[in-house]
Amino acid sequence: MALQASEETSQRVDELDTRVADLEENIVLSAGNYGYISRRINQRVSEVARGYGKINQIQRGRLI
């Protein structure tokens, strides 16, 4: 009986982990958060691009 309870608990935890991961991956961003993330991505792409020297728009697009 204890083994069955442990298995059921483990299965339930796995299901909850899956649901939480799905919620985290699909969370809706506010406009402010989206803008902040977009700016940070663009800043990081610029930093990487500078490390490569002069790159064209196609190459820059591939970094994003």
Q: What is the pLDDT of residue 55?
A: 77
pTM of the shown model: 0.47
Rg, C-alpha atoms of the chain: 21
Q: What is the pLDDT of residue 2?
A: 74
> Which of the residues in the chain have pLDDT under 50?
none
Do the Cβ atoms of 63 and 45 come closer than 8 Å?
yes
Q: What is the pLDDT of residue 35?
A: 93
Q: What is the pLDDT of residue 26?
A: 87
**CA–CA gap between residue 64 and residue 61 (Å, rounded):** 5
